[in-house]
Amino acid sequence: MTISSSLNAGVAALKANANRLATISDNIANSSTFGYKRVETDFHSMVTTGQGGSYSAGGVRTTSQRLIDQRGPLVPTNNSTDLAVRQRGMLPVRPSSQIGTASNEMLLTTTGSFRTNDAGYLVTESGLVLLGWRAGADGSIPNVPRDTPAALEPIQLSVNQLSGAPTTLINLRMNLPATATDAGTPGDPQPLSVEYFDNLGKSESVDIQLVPTVPASGSSNEWTMTLRDSASGGAVIGEYTLAFTDSRTAGGTLASVATVSGGAYDPASGSLVVNVAGGPIEINIGQIGDADGITQLSDTFAPVSITRDGSAVSTMTDVQVDAKGFVFAIYESGVSRRMFQIPLADVPNPNGLTALDSQTYAPSRESGTFFLWNAGEGPTGDIASFSREESTTDVATELTSMIQTQRAYSSSAKVIQTVDEMLQETTNIKR
């Protein structure tokens, strides 16, 4: 029985070392595979109880585990949609063959080189499409359930797509010459034209004329601001009387705004709303007493800062992903628009995920249920664009393990050979 157990232990050792060699071979074969997670084989002794003082060899068995929670180093690339997760969390993906179906399957990966295919979907060479939540027209992300992939959809971006946004806000920051409101001055108007974009992305303008009030004596410190809309044939859309203070502490700032026509001035926000042909536009001229609003100082007319939102119709030329997982479409006009948000999935036991082809993983009973986090929140890290995650295999370590495994395998084979010789001696007793 003791000799027989030695033989069985030797056979178990051969099988165990063969299993370890298989994982080493897989690790070395994937040492250059982006996102590959190495597999580790552990040995466990098997103990049997002998009788009458004899010892019975129990042998050995192995278990293998893919170390998914280990992260490889990140390497830079020149593609903005090469993505990798820094620290904890995984990107949600789906086989591209399921695009257009009712499937809610979600696989997970820690890195991927995503590029737009002929239909504009962000897909890897291995056929995985990136998933995300679609943003609304204003760039906001809707509130969705975080414990199900039902709201996720394949990210589709139409490169070379035309897009434009109407102007809804104009900020006016300028200085009016204080000397123009003195008695005896000619009262010349100060013209200003501010471009805006209508609902179809066409360029129009709000033409502003500022006329000083010239008193019979002294200084009035007062101006009449008239606004006209080019899209309405130059029709007046607002007229306001601006009065400035000459006090020692707040000299040159707005003292009051009187509405002659158009939307009323709101002193709390420093804005007034006028209606152009395409709809309302908010024009911010600054609050009462605000030195950063419209001022009246010195003898120079100076448009200090004229800004507005909206954009002309332009072509989408690029896609960028930020650290929080927001996907932006970049247009040739320089305007960016938020299109999707990529969440990061996390599970209690990443090493319990079921490993699949192409460095993808599926949630399982051992991994626990997943939750979709905003990148950089909760336990998750952030998303690095222009990056790929390298394999976690260390070739030097694997080669060292291979030498150890080879020696152990040879020794186990020697045990079997020795047992065979001992059995042969036992057979020879009868001769």
pLDDT above 60: residue 1: no
Residue owning tokens 């068995």: 61
- Both 278 and 189 in one domain: the answer is yes
- Both 58 and 114 in one domain: the answer is no
Share of the chain above pLDDT 70, in %: 96
- Both 51 and 20 in one domain: the answer is yes
- Both 292 and 229 in one domain: the answer is yes
- Alpha-carbon gap, residue 132 to 373, rounded angstroms: 12
- Alpha-carbon gap, residue 72 to 86, rounded angstroms: 10
Residue 267 three-state SS:
coil
- Both 399 and 265 in one domain: the answer is no
- Both 231 and 262 in one domain: the answer is yes
- Both 184 and 281 in one domain: the answer is yes
Q: What is the CA radius of gyration of the chain?
A: 37
Q: How far apart are the first and last CA of the chain?
A: 22
Structure tokens that stand for 156 in this block: 């589709």
- Alpha-carbon gap, residue 300 to 323, rounded angstroms: 45
Averaged confidence pLDDT in the chain: 89
How large is the average pLDDT for residues 321-343?
Answer: 88
Residue 110 three-state SS:
coil
Range of the domain at 399: 2-67+392-428
End of a domain among 248, 274, 309? Answer: 309
- Alpha-carbon gap, residue 214 to 302, rounded angstroms: 20
| pLDDT range class, residue 210, cuts 50, 70, 90 | very high
Considering the entire predicted model, what is its pTM?
A: 0.70
> Is the CB of residue 108 less than 8 Å from the CB of residue 91?
yes
Q: What are the φ/ψ torsions at residue 202 (nearest 5 degrees)?
A: -80, 150
Q: Residue 160's pLDDT is what?
A: 57
How large is the average pLDDT for residues 9-35?
Answer: 89
pLDDT above 70: residue 85: yes
- Both 401 and 377 in one domain: the answer is no
Q: Residue 163's pLDDT is what?
A: 66
- Alpha-carbon gap, residue 314 to 208, rounded angstroms: 27
Angle at 24 between CA 22 and CA 25, to 5 degrees: 65
Classify the C-alpha dihedral 173-178-183-189 as positive or negative. negative
Q: Residue 357 is which amino acid?
A: D
End of a domain among 259, 276, 309? Answer: 309
How large is the average pLDDT for residues 50-68?
Answer: 78
Instruction: Say how many domains are in the chain.
Output: 3
> Is the CB of residue 218 less than 8 Å from the CB of residue 233?
no
Interstrand relation of 279-284 and 169-176 (parallel, antiparallel or unpaired): parallel
- Check residue 142 and report its DSSP letter: P
| pLDDT range class, residue 50, cuts 50, 70, 90 | low
End of a domain among 309, 343, 369? Answer: 309
Higher local confidence (pLDDT), 420 or 123: 123
| pLDDT range class, residue 297, cuts 50, 70, 90 | very high
Angle at 109 between CA 106 and CA 110, to 5 degrees: 145
**Distance of CA 297 to CAs 197, 215, 225, 244, 294, Å?**
31, 18, 17, 10, 10
> Is the CB of residue 395 less than 8 Å from the CB of residue 28?
yes
- Both 207 and 294 in one domain: the answer is yes
Give the domain CATH number at 283. Answer: 2.60.98.20
Q: Residue 339 is which amino acid?
A: M
Q: Residue 103's pLDDT is what?
A: 83
> Is the CB of residue 43 less than 8 Å from the CB of residue 60?
yes
Residue-wise pLDDT tens digits, 384-394:
999 999 999 99
- Both 268 and 251 in one domain: the answer is yes
- Both 102 and 208 in one domain: the answer is no
How large is the average pLDDT for residues 252-275?
Answer: 94
Share of the chain above pLDDT 90, in %: 64
- Both 197 and 298 in one domain: the answer is yes
Residue-wise pLDDT tens digits, 175-199:
999 999 999 999 999 999 999 998 8
